[in-house]
């Protein structure tokens, strides 16, 4: 397939990844998934890029889930296992990245689309966005980390209702249950997401990296161990040029210019 299924752009210190299969509402085929992984890793390795935004091409969808035409056409269990391995690896890589990630959800985020959102740090929704884990209605499993991330991110009774019923829910409900950060008019979504990304990208990339590590590792530790882990990060953060620059800039009443060192 010669189609460019993932578009990758860099603007200042912000990387933008667009899932680009609008004819099928940006459904995730194996090719899309592997291209997403490749493009994400390239942005992750780019020292100029400090924050990565994800969106979908077209007017209607962020990602309408796994590609059902591909899913049904392959030999059942083997394909499912392979696809599950790929999707788990890619989404986990994105989730545990040292660089902050933002979802700009421009419409349907269904199945794998909601599961991608669940793997991203910050979520902005267009007012026309709709989310769901509808897999149960298709007789398949929300196996892109959906069960495990949903149950950890919203109250269990809500997570279970959404998973067991598979029902679609709108942006305002996603906001009310604490699954997303904000809902904005569709026309303003990308600007809002890029603006927020640029705001974060002005901060110390080094501290962002250490914060992401502290949050990622600390959440699964007992409190005492988590605080000790935080303390180690504080040590690493203070002994840097960014710390000197940030504090000096405050005292000199100027804007800090962080280099990530
Ligand atoms: N896969 C493949 N093609 C799709 C998908 C999809 N997920 N979603 C839409 N399309 C295609 C349609 O078949 C249609 O193709 P065609 O033009 O050739 O008929 C085209 O996109 C346009 O779609 P619609 O005509 O249906 O557009 P509407 O605006 O009427 O509806 C919806 C839009 C609501 C998004 C609707 O298309 C829909 O419900 N799509 C399916 C959503 C869904 O059920 N997603 C979950 C998929 S399963 C999943 O995500 C599992 C992932 C994790 C698995 C990991 C374990 C291995």
| Residue 257 included in any domain | no
| Residue 220 included in any domain | yes
| Residue nearest atom 11 of ligand 1, based on CA coordinates | 24
Give residue 15's pLDDT.
Answer: 98
Q: Assess whether 171 and 229 both reside in one domain.
A: no
- The 3-state secondary structure of the chain reads CCCCCEEEEEECCEEEEEECCHHHCCCECHHHHHHHHHHHHHHHHCCCCCEEEEEECCCCEEECCECHHHHHHCCHHHHHHHHHHHHHHHHHHHHCCCCCEEEEECCEEECHHHHHHHCCCEEEEECCCEEECCHHHHCCCCCCCHHHHHHHHCCHHHHHHHHHHCCCEEHHHHHHCCCCCEEECHHHHHHHHHHHHHHHHCCCHHHHHHHHHHHHHHCCCCHHHHHHHHHHHHHHHHCCHHHHHHHHHHHCCCCCCCCCC
Q: Assess whether 73 and 20 both reside in one domain.
A: yes
Which atom of ligand 1 is least distant from the CA of 67? 1
Residues of the domain holding 219? 205-251
How many domains does the chain contain in total? Answer: 2
Longest dimension (CA), the chain: 65
| Residue 62 included in any domain | yes
Q: Assess whether 85 and 165 both reside in one domain.
A: yes
Spell out the residues 6+ positions from residue 91 whose beta carbon is closer than 8 angstroms to its own.
115, 116, 119, 144, 145
Q: Assess whether 229 and 175 both reside in one domain.
A: no
| Residue 141 included in any domain | yes
Q: Assess whether 142 and 214 both reside in one domain.
A: no
CATH of the domain at 229: 1.10.12
Ligand 1 pocket list (CB less than 6 A): 24-25, 27, 60-61, 64-69, 80, 83-84, 87, 108, 110-112, 134-135, 138, 140, 143-144
| Residue 6 included in any domain | yes
Q: Assess whether 243 and 159 both reside in one domain.
A: no
**CA 232 to ligand 1 center in whole angstroms:** 46
Round to whole Å and give the CA distance between 207 and 212: 8
Give residue 76's pLDDT.
Answer: 63
Q: Assess whether 194 and 112 both reside in one domain.
A: yes
| Residue 145 included in any domain | yes
Q: Assess whether 217 and 158 both reside in one domain.
A: no
CATH of the domain at 58: 3.90.226.10
Give residue 1's pLDDT.
Answer: 47
pLDDT by position in tens, the chain (length 261):
457 999 999 999 999 999 999 999 999 999 999 999 999 999 999 999 999 999 999 999 999 999 999 988 876 666 778 889 999 999 999 999 999 999 999 999 999 999 999 999 999 999 999 999 999 999 999 999 999 999 999 999 999 999 999 999 999 999 999 999 999 999 999 999 999 999 999 999 999 999 999 999 999 999 999 999 999 998 899 889 999 999 999 999 999 999 988
Give residue 82's pLDDT.
Answer: 87
For the entire predicted model, the pTM comes to 0.96
| Options 35, 115, 130, 230, the catalytic residue | 115
| Residue 164 included in any domain | yes
Q: Is 135 a catalytic residue?
A: yes
Q: Assess whether 212 and 164 both reside in one domain.
A: no
Q: Assess whether 176 and 215 both reside in one domain.
A: no
| Options 135, 161, 192, 245, the catalytic residue | 135
Which atom of ligand 1 is least distant from the CA of 83? 57
Q: Is 3 a catalytic residue?
A: no
| Mutate which of 68, 107, 150 for ligand 1 pocket (most atoms within 8 A of beta carbon) | 68
Residue ending a domain, choose from 201, 223, 238: 201
Q: Assess whether 88 and 189 both reside in one domain.
A: yes
Q: Assess whether 233 and 140 both reside in one domain.
A: no
| Residue 120 included in any domain | yes
Spell out the residues 6+ positions from residue 258 whose beta carbon is closer than 8 angstroms to its own.
202, 203, 204, 205, 206, 242, 245, 246
């Amino acid at each position: 397939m010669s189609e460019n299924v993932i578009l990758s752009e860099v603007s200042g210190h912000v990387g933008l990844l667009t899932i680009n299969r609008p004819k099928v509402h940006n459904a995730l085929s194996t090719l899309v998934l592997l291209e997403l992984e490749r493009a994400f890793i390239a942005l992750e390795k780019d020292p100029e890029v400090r924050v990565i935004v994800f969106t979908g091409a077209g007017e209607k969808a962020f990602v309408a889930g796994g590609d059902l035409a591909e899913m049904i056409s392959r030999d059942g269990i083997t394909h499912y296992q392979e696809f599950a391995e790929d999707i788990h690896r890619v989404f986990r890589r994105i989730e545990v990245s040292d660089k902050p990630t933002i979802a700009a959800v421009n419409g349907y985020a269904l199945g794998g689309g909601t599961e991608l959102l669940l793997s991203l740090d910050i979520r902005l929704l267009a007012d026309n966005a709709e989310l769901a884990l509808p897999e149960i209605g298709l007789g398949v499993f929300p196996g892109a980390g959906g069960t495990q991330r949903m149950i950890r991110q919203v109250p269990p009774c809500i997570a279970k209702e959404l998973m067991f019923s598979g029902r679609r829910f709108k942006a305002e409900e996603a906001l009310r249950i604490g699954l997303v950060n904000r809902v904005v008019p569709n026309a303003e979504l990308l600007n809002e997401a890029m603006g927020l990304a640029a705001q974060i990208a002005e901060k110390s990339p080094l501290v962002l990296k250490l914060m992401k590590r502290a949050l990622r590792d600390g959440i699964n530790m007992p409190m005492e161990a988590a605080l000790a882990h935080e303390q180690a990060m504080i040590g690493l953060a203070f002994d840097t040029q960014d710390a000197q620059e940030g504090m000096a800039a405050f005292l000199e009443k100027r804007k800090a210019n962080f280099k990530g060192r």
